[in-house]
Structure 1
Amino acid sequence: MKTIHRPGWQPLVLRQHREAHGLTLEAAGDQLRQVAHRHGLTAPAANFQTLWSHEQGSVYPGPHYRRAYCLLYQANEPALGFRSPLPGEITEVENSISDLPPSTDPATDNAAAQVIEQTLVKVSGAPSNAEQNALLNRVVDAWRRRHGQGSPKPILTIVGGYAGSGKTEFSRFLSDITGWAFLDKDSLTRAMVERLLVSLGGDPHDRHTELYLSEVRPLEYRCLMETAFDNLKVGTSAILSAPFVAELVDPDWVSRLTNRCAARGIDVAVVWVRCDRESMREYIEFRGAPRDAWKLKNWETYVSGLDTDTSPQTAHITVDNRLGAAISLADQTRQTLKRILT
């Protein structure tokens, strides 16, 4: 049997975790399907042949499989042998459930807030500037406010990043914690964008030609921003998920947005989700969206125009999702919070 080579991949470690949990391949498959369904992941077949191929190293698990494995075994990707850890990445799962107070403890909410704060620090590095600290404090404050504490003030959070970087999943994570409105560009505008492109004589899945960039994209982002302000005007904070590549490299655009919000008593935070090219391609291939066809067909041309090593200077905080590290940690944090509060 041919073994696939991935940097840092140790298939035997996955088998060791399964056996440490006392699971057969069939039982592990059953639990993996349940975990995937519970967390809204694309439910894998997860039969014993598939799990066996993962443990033997003949098939490298796809992104949803890896996330489900991490949730099932309460570990992250390096701990399960899927890859080598990033510099400074903690491989052990911290904040284990047994170390946290039970739900009847009056300090439960504070414990949950501490878990949230620790997670945000880990995915972005230690807070090093006022904007970074401000967003972290606002997220924790939103958590407390949902539980009867804190004082409300709307905030607009821009979450940008290249296609497949994990910005949508991280935005959902922030929304889960804070209760802020989650507005995804594709969900809001895709149907209209595709119909408009057709009416203009173009390809409905075009996201790279001058027709899309000049005639359609500006309207797409205008719809997203105006929807955000409809929420903000009534005091509802909003998280916007979209690439924002052209916008965030323009300091004037960010300044205009910040001034517009400040005039209405609204705070602004800009988050950039950083990811490596290989992981972005894996996510793009996995979701199989028609709008990504050109990117995949012309991958080298597409990535040659990306700067995956640095963040826009306008970003207040950079989330390091190289090799899926941040999203894996977000999944673990969700699990921890659920166990604290139930």
Structure 2
Amino acid sequence: MKTTQRPGWTPSRLREHREAHGLTLEAAGERLRQAASRHGLAVPAANFQTLWGHEQGTIFPGPHYRRAYCLLYQATEPELGFRPPLPSESQKAEIVISELPAPTDPATDNAAAQVIEEAFTKVSVGGIELGDTPQALLRARVVDAWRRRHGGGSPKPILVLVGGYAGSGKTEFSRFLSDITGWAFLDKDSLTRFIVERLLISLGGDPHDRHTDLYLKEVRPLEYRCLMETAWDNLNVGTSTILSAPFIAELNDEAWFARLENRCAAKGIDVAAIWVRCDTDSMREYIEFRAAARDAWKLSNWDQYATGLKVETSPPTAHVTVDNRLGAAISLADQTREALKRILS
């Protein structure tokens, strides 16, 4: 039997976890589909042949399969043998759901806040510095938003920009922030893609172009303006808003960001920038998995595209850098959501 080669992959770990849970392949497939359904993940079939291939090392599980496995077995990717741990990543999942207080316990909200604080700290490169640092203040705002949804907290709205390269996981991390804070979530592609494609066609271009001067100079500025104007509509009525977009040029332009901060300050709005850092191999896997037409040029010219990415640094205006190399931050976000569901159910 041919085994797929993947650095650090130990397929037998999946079988060990399945057997430790007392599951047959068929039962594990059913549980896997249930976990995927709860979290909106695409896990086609999840039949015993596919799971057998995962355990035998002939099929490497795709991103959604890996996330569903982590949720099913309440374990991290390194624990399940999908990859080696990152240098700063714990081998052992530290969110122990059974130890959290029951919903009737008056400490429930504090326990949930602690889970959120720990998750935010773990996904931030270099951790969170104490005091009035941008990282600590943003984390406090996230926790404050959780408390507001349960009575109390600051009514001051906040604008959060979540940027990163294509396939870095910025949209998933934005959804995670929105889930736990209740802040409005706006994704650039969802908001503007159909208009952008029609505009490119009307200008004689390719509807899926995202790299030529036609898109960069004629279309992209309007795309981002639509995104920002929609954000202002929310913020002007006191609704905190999370924006998910690459923001590569914007967050690298300190003058642009200073103007944004000044406008927000004049309106009594806080502003924070989050950069989602990821490795090129993981980004390519995510891009291939989502199979979006707008990514065709990137995949066809991957080496050329990847050489222009600065994956080891963050834009100068970023308040927090989230470490999503090998999908570590998104995996932790999934487990945090699951923990909060258990607390509140």
TM over 0.5: yes
RMSD: 0.8
Q: Deviations over 1:282-330 (max 9, x none)?
A: 0000000000000000000101111001111110000000000000000
Distance 1:93 1:130 in 2: 27
| Preserved contact between residue 95 and residue 335 of structure 2 (Cα < 8 Å) | no
Among all aligned residue pairs of Structure 1 and Structure 2, give the percentage whose two residues are the same amino acid.
Answer: 76
| Preserved contact between residue 157 and residue 239 of structure 2 (Cα < 8 Å) | yes
| Preserved contact between residue 138 and residue 272 of structure 2 (Cα < 8 Å) | yes
Q: State yes or no: 1:56 paired with 2:59.
A: no
Which residue is equivalent to 1:321? Answer: 324
Which residue is equivalent to 2:158? Answer: 155
| Structure 2 residues not aligned, in runs of 5+ | none
Q: 1:210 aligns with which of 201, 213, 216?
A: 213
1:233-312 aligned within 5 A: 233-312=236-315
Distance 1:38 1:329 in 2: 16
Residue 221 of structure 1 and its aligned partner are, at CA, apart by 0.1
Matched residue type, 1:15: R
Which residue is equivalent to 2:134? Answer: 131
Distance 1:94 1:300 in 2: 37
Distance 1:221 1:53 in 2: 44
| Structure 1 residues not aligned, in runs of 5+ | none
| Preserved contact between residue 36 and residue 44 of structure 1 (Cα < 8 Å) | no
| Preserved contact between residue 161 and residue 273 of structure 2 (Cα < 8 Å) | yes
Distance 2:6 2:312 in 1: 21
| Preserved contact between residue 116 and residue 336 of structure 2 (Cα < 8 Å) | yes
Residue 44 of structure 1 and its aligned partner are, at CA, apart by 2.0
**What is the SS of the residue equivalent to 1:150?**
coil
Q: 1:181 aligns with which of 184, 188, 195?
A: 184
**What is the SS of the residue equivalent to 2:211?**
coil
Which residue is equivalent to 1:122? Answer: 122
Matched residue type, 1:300: D
**What is the SS of the residue equivalent to 2:304?**
helix
Q: 2:228 aligns with which of 201, 225, 248?
A: 225
1:189-208 aligned within 5 A: 189-208=192-211
Matched residue type, 2:114: Q
Distance 1:38 1:132 in 2: 31
Distance 2:10 2:21 in 1: 18
Q: State yes or no: 1:91 paired with 2:94.
A: no
| Preserved contact between residue 160 and residue 271 of structure 1 (Cα < 8 Å) | yes
User: What is the TM-score with the length of structure 2 in the denominator?
Assistant: 0.98
Matched residue type, 2:172: E
Residue 95 of structure 1 and its aligned partner are, at CA, apart by 2.6
Distance 1:38 1:137 in 2: 28
Q: Deviations over 1:248-292 (max 9, x none)?
A: 111001101000100000011000000000000000000000000
Matched residue type, 1:83: R
Which residue is equivalent to 2:44? Answer: 44
Residue 150 of structure 1 and its aligned partner are, at CA, apart by 1.1
Distance 2:223 2:68 in 1: 33
Q: How many residues align?
A: 342
**What is the SS of the residue equivalent to 2:95?**
coil
| Preserved contact between residue 153 and residue 266 of structure 1 (Cα < 8 Å) | yes
| Preserved contact between residue 161 and residue 242 of structure 2 (Cα < 8 Å) | yes
Distance 2:343 2:7 in 1: 35
Residue 4 of structure 1 and its aligned partner are, at CA, apart by 1.3
Residue 243 of structure 1 and its aligned partner are, at CA, apart by 0.2
Matched residue type, 1:221: Y
